[in-house]
Amino acid sequence: MTELAPGEAAKKAFRGPASAALSLEIVIVPLALLVMDKVEGGLTPAKIAWVVVLTVGMIVAIARFSRPWGLPLALGLQVLMALGWIVSPALGILGLVFCLVWAGMLWMRHEVLRRHALWADRDA
């Protein structure tokens, strides 16, 4: 087994929290249909399609997160979720909440990578 550079190990370690966040979204996003039905006056084909596309996209993102395009795909889905405000305020609010979650996770990832680089420079 080959050893990974500290920065690569930190990038690889980000897969777990990212997959956990996407898994949570896969459970929560379809539940927004209940809110849309009861609070927003019913479901429309556009609302259902938006939720189905997001949910399937998140499943694909979990399966492909190890690819170089996995993180951009997950972030793109967050943007789509925030843009869900066009279709449903409930989905837009969920999108904003999860955008904040992802922003926090990306900030923590950045900090870990930055500190790994500092430690590597210090030890060199």
- Give 15-60 pLDDT, tens digit per residue: 888 999 999 999 999 999 999 999 988 899 999 999 999 999 999 9
Place of tokens 């956990």: 20
pLDDT for residue 4: 63
- 27 within some domain: yes
Contacts of 60 (CB under 8 A, 6+ apart): 73
pLDDT for residue 20: 92
Helices (H), 3-44: 6-13, 15-39
Dist CA 90 CA 34 (whole Å): 10
Length of the chain, in residues: 124
- 1 within some domain: no
Whether 89 shows a pLDDT value over 70: the answer reads yes
- 116 within some domain: yes
- pLDDT level of residue 7 (50, 70, 90 thresholds): low
The domain in which residue 12 lies consists of 6-123
- 65 within some domain: yes
- Give 99-123 pLDDT, tens digit per residue: 999 999 999 999 988 888 888 777 7
Pick from 74, 69, 92: which is nearest to 19 by CA?
Answer: 74
Whether 73 shows a pLDDT value over 90: the answer reads yes
- Across 94-113, b (16+ Cβ under 10 Å) vs e yields bbeebeeebeebeeebeebb
Please state the domain count of the chain. Answer: 1
- pLDDT level of residue 14 (50, 70, 90 thresholds): confident
pTM (two decimals): 0.84
pLDDT for residue 82: 92
